[in-house]
Structure 1
Amino acid sequence: MSMSFDEHKPIFLQIKERIEDQIVNDQLKEQDQIPSTTQLVNFYKINHLTISKGISLLVDAGIIYKKRGVGMFVAEGAKQKLLEQRKDVFVDGYILPMMQEASKLGITEKDIIALMQQVKGSGGSGL
């Protein structure tokens, strides 16, 4: 896990996203305990309030839950919820704009699939 942060995005959001990534990548599974706020503060060397704000977003979203006096845990269904959210973001951010541009250029669905296979076959390095 990288300790460096993107200066163009609030750190508390990056903390939230890193924990989400660990859930999506099965590094943290449902009912697993996540590192404590203190552990995260010590690891990242950042302010406790910054960590707490990122954690609170996850609690509010139902991705993690707190057991008083015990710690914080990955909620049941958290991975599925995150995958669905990310799929929606992917569609809105990539698929819709791609389809709109393809329509302007007269590129068919079949052409798009062929282009995607071509890019995938070339290791994703482009056309």
Structure 2
Amino acid sequence: MNNSFNNDKPIFIQIREIIEDQIVNGLLSEEEQAPSTNQLVSFYKINHATVAKGINQLVDEGILYKKRGIGMFVSKGAKDKLRDKRRKAFSDEYVVPLVQEASKLGISSNEIINLINQVKGSGNQ
């Protein structure tokens, strides 16, 4: 874990995304215990309420669940749910604007694919 934050978005969202990344990347598996609020507060040296807000969003989304007195755990299906959410966001945030701009510039679908393959082949991913 990296314990520095950027100023582009609220810290509670960055905490949520760190845990989401750990799930998507397989560092946290289904039914595995997630880092506790206290562990995150201690590691990142941030306010308890900030961490709790990020964690509670994951609970509300069904990504984590609480076992009273034990801690937070990764829900079954959390990885698939997060991947689906990110694929949709990827399309909305990257693919739609890309296609719109390409259309304005008269770039065909085949040209877009070729450009993507060039970038992938150049190691600039």
Instruction: Give the TM-score of the pair, scaled to structure 2.
Output: 0.97
- CA deviation after TM superposition for structure 1 residue 8, in Å: 2.5
Equivalent residue, structure 1, for 2:107: 107
Q: In structure 1, what is the Cα distance between the partners aligned to 2:39 and 2:68?
A: 17
- CA deviation after TM superposition for structure 1 residue 97, in Å: 0.6
Aligned residues: 125
Equivalent residue, structure 2, for 1:65: 65
1:20 counterpart = 2:43: no
Equivalent residue, structure 2, for 1:80: 80
Q: In structure 2, what is the Cα distance between the partners aligned to 1:42 and 1:96?
A: 40
3-state SS, counterpart of residue 90 of structure 2: helix
3-state SS, counterpart of residue 76 of structure 1: coil
Q: In structure 2, what is the Cα distance between the partners aligned to 1:119 and 1:13?
A: 30
Q: In structure 2, what is the Cα distance between the partners aligned to 1:95 and 1:73?
A: 33
In structure 2, the gaps of 5 or more residues are none
3-state SS, counterpart of residue 34 of structure 2: coil
- CA deviation after TM superposition for structure 1 residue 124, in Å: 1.7
- CA deviation after TM superposition for structure 1 residue 37, in Å: 0.9
- CA deviation after TM superposition for structure 1 residue 121, in Å: 0.9
Q: Which runs of 4+ in 1 moved over 4 A?
A: none
In structure 1, the gaps of 5 or more residues are none
